[in-house]
């Protein structure tokens, strides 16, 4: 037989049950993690061994305002520096344009010579062409049925011309073994108010004086003359063109060479003035 008067170990003590005595405060909330002072810390503590200390912050020292600036010192730091290596930019010294030699007037003079050469070339060309055309005009003229003595040089390519207001039927003869050949096509040259048409060329065996006679039927009035072939004027025109190109080309070369020499010498003078001031 058991004794039920003793309280069981899991029952509350007498007077402290849920219905006896003072009300109990609610239990504190549970704590998670390590509580301060609950367990001893393991490992060396800061300052317990030499070489140990607080770990440096990966973000650097905490921001602060620092000590106040000294008197006369800007609180915003030194002023910004300009130029390379903190130096002020340097500028080349100003050079007086009048001190640079030679003067640019030499360039103008060179091209002035070029212009003069060009004008001279044009004059030579025009003179040569005009001279060639004037040599074509008959210098010895005669009427129908008249016999004249004319000096003939085969090198000058002599020819017979006729000037008439209408077409004429002519017949010409030459002495001294020379022969006459008809001109193909119509070739004319104008001298003043007269229009001369080349009708025959004279093939002379040698230079000398020859007798020439030309006649035509009654009707239109015709005047005959002896000059040079029109084809001989091509040489004079070609010579005038060559003279124009040569003289004008020399002028252009003088202008270019003068410009280059003056500019090169002026560049050297500028460098010397920049060094010596």
Provide the sign of the torsion angle of the four alpha carbons 260, 261, 266, 269, taken in this order: positive
- Residue listed under structure tokens 């077409």: 167
CATH number for the region 137-229 comes to 2.60.40
CA 141 to chain centre: 61
Which residues share a beta bridge with 159? 201, 227
pLDDT tens, 258-277? 999 999 999 888 888 888 76
Distances (CA, A) of 172 to 166, 175, 227: 18, 10, 15
Average pLDDT score over residue span 93-99: 72
Tokens read off for 240: 């005038």
- Strand order from edge to edge, sheet including 194-203: 140-143, 222-228, 158-164, 194-203, 179-191
Cis-peptide, bond into residue 30, ω within 30° of zero: no
Strand ranges (E), the chain? 140-143, 146-152, 158-164, 170-174, 179-191, 194-203, 208-216, 222-228
pLDDT tens, 171-222? 999 998 999 999 887 888 887 788 899 999 999 999 999 999 999 877 678 8
Mean pLDDT (the chain) is: 77
Least-confidence region, from 28-42, 61-75, 167-181: 28-42
Confidence (pLDDT) at 236: 77
For residue 132, is pLDDT > 90? Answer: no
Average pLDDT score over residue span 42-49: 50
pLDDT tens, 211-263? 999 998 776 788 999 998 887 777 778 888 899 999 999 999 999 999 999 99
Confidence (pLDDT) at 172: 94
Q: Of 120 and 219, which is predicted with more confidence?
A: 120
Tokens read off for 125: 């060309």
Confidence (pLDDT) at 94: 74
Average pLDDT score over residue span 151-168: 90
Q: How far apart are the first and last CA of the chain?
A: 134
């Amino acid at each position: 037989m058991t004794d039920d008067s003793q309280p069981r170990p899991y029952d509350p003590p007498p007077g402290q049950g849920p219905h006896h005595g003072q009300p109990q405060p609610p239990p504190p909330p549970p704590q998670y993690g390590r509580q301060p002072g609950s367990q001893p810390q393991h490992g060396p503590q800061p300052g317990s061994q030499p070489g140990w200390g607080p770990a440096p912050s990966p973000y650097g020292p905490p921001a602060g305002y620092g000590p106040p600036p000294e008197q006369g010192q800007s609180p915003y730091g030194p002023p910004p520096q300009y130029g390379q290596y903190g130096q002020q930019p340097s500028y080349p010294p100003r050079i007086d344009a009048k001190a640079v030699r030679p003067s640019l007037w030499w360039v103008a003079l060179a091209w002035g010579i070029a212009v003069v050469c060009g004008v001279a070339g044009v004059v030579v060309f025009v003179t040569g062409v005009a001279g060639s055309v004037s040599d074509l005009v008959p210098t010895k003229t005669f009427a129908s049925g008249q016999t004249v003595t004319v000096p003939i040089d085969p090198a000058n390519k002599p020819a017979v011309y006729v000037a008439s207001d209408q077409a004429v039927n002519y017949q010409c003869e030459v002495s001294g073994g020379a022969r006459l050949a008809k001109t193909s096509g119509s070739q004319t040259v104008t001298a003043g108010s007269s229009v001369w048409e080349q009708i025959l060329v004279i093939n002379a065996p040698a230079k000398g004086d020859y007798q020439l006679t030309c006649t035509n039927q009654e009707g239109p009035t015709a005047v005959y003359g002896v000059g040079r072939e029109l084809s001989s004027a091509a040489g004079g025109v070609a010579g005038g063109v060559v003279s124009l190109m040569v003289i004008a080309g020399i002028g252009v070369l003088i202008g270019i060479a003068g410009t280059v020499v003056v500019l090169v010498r002026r560049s050297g003078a500028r460098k010397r003035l920049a060094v010596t001031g």
